[in-house]
Amino acid sequence: MLRIFFIVLALSLVTLVAITGIRGQKGKKPPIEIFPDMDHQPKVKSQVPTGFFADSRGDRQPVPGTVPLGYAAPLSKGGAVADEGKYTAVRFANSTDYADTGRFGDQWGTGIPLPVTAELMQRGGERYAIFCAVCHGSSGAGNGVAGQYGMAAIASYHQDRLRTMPDGEIFNTITHGKNTMLGYGGKIPVDDRWAIVAYVRALQLSQHAELSDVPPEERAKLEAAK
């Protein structure tokens, strides 16, 4: 009796493991939910379809003809530690102010409508590395990695047309794109766009500077190194 039991047990265990597999095995089947109590509640969550609307979209599209007023969403709890007090809101705006459009009436304006501090430049550099460097390259020469994969006509910042371009027009290019570049207005908040503009200006200066632009104390170092 015992022998038969152990043989049957061993065979059924082998079968079971053969069917169920082991932990961590890769598979395409949706996970089994053993205790699904209240796991799926009939509420709308971010980027999750819902049965409530006919098109099953949880995130609603604005009704045609909606006029956006702009908004500032507060930073989520636990906001950036390093930037405490500086970036308290994620601002996407659609006013006609210079700070939101880069233009005064139908003229491009120039100047950064935020205090240009070391923090702003650092923020601009970080955002530039995330969103711009892929195409424009980390020095702004238009030699980012996307160019090697078939992205054509990436503008280098180091040409007179872009050196003399008003800040507002650069801001507008980030927001709405230009030629083959699509707009980044939906991804980069207004303040970050200005930070990037400031950083792009610094990049341009870095590749087009005279010795007289260098502060006197640093100039001595440069000349000593020559």
Partner 1 sequence: MSNFFPRWANWVPLKLLLIAAVLTTVLTLGVWYYFTPKYTRVGYMPDQPAPFSHALHAEQLGMDCRYCHSFVEVSGHSNIPDTQTCMACHSQIKSTSPKLAAVKASWESGLPIQWVRIHKAPDYVYFNHAAHVNRGVSCFSCHGQINDMATVWQAEPQSMAWCLECHRAPEKFLRPQSEVFNLNWHAASPAAQLAMGTQFKKEWNINPPLTCGGCHR
Q: Is 78 a binder of partner 1 (CB under 8 A)?
A: yes
Give me the 32-71 binding string for partner 1, x by CB under 8 A, dash otherwise.
xxx---xxxx-x-xxxx--------x--------------
Of 14, 75, 220, 222, the one binding partner 1 (CB under 8 A) is 75
Using alpha carbons, select from 109, 65, 101 the residue that is nearest to residue 185: 101
CA pseudo-torsion sign 88, 182, 173, 135:
positive
Q: Which two tokens stand for residue 101?
A: 């459009």
Q: Which is nearer to partner 1, 78 or 216 (CB)?
A: 78
Alpha carbon distance, N-terminus to C-terminus of the chain: 95
Part in contact with partner 1 (CB under 8 A); list of ranges 1-9, 114-122, 194-202, 208-216: 1-9
* Residue 91: strand pairing partners: 72
Between residue 159 and residue 218, which ones bind partner 1 under the rule CB under 8 A?
180-184, 186-188
Task: Bin 32: left if φ > 0, else alpha if -120 < ψ < 50, else beta.
Answer: beta
- Three-state DSSP at 108 gives strand
Dist. CA 50–CA 58, nearest whole Å: 5
Using alpha carbons, select from 82, 112, 85 the residue that is nearest to residue 99: 112
| Total number of residues that touch partner 1 (CB under 8 A) | 59
Of 51, 54, 64, 149, the one binding partner 1 (CB under 8 A) is 149
Part in contact with partner 1 (CB under 8 A); list of ranges 29-37, 101-109, 157-165, 195-203: 29-37
Binding residues vs partner 1 (CB under 8 A): 1-2, 5, 9, 13, 16, 20, 22-34, 38-41, 43, 45-48, 57, 73, 75-82, 90, 129-131, 134-135, 145-146, 149-152, 180-184, 186-188
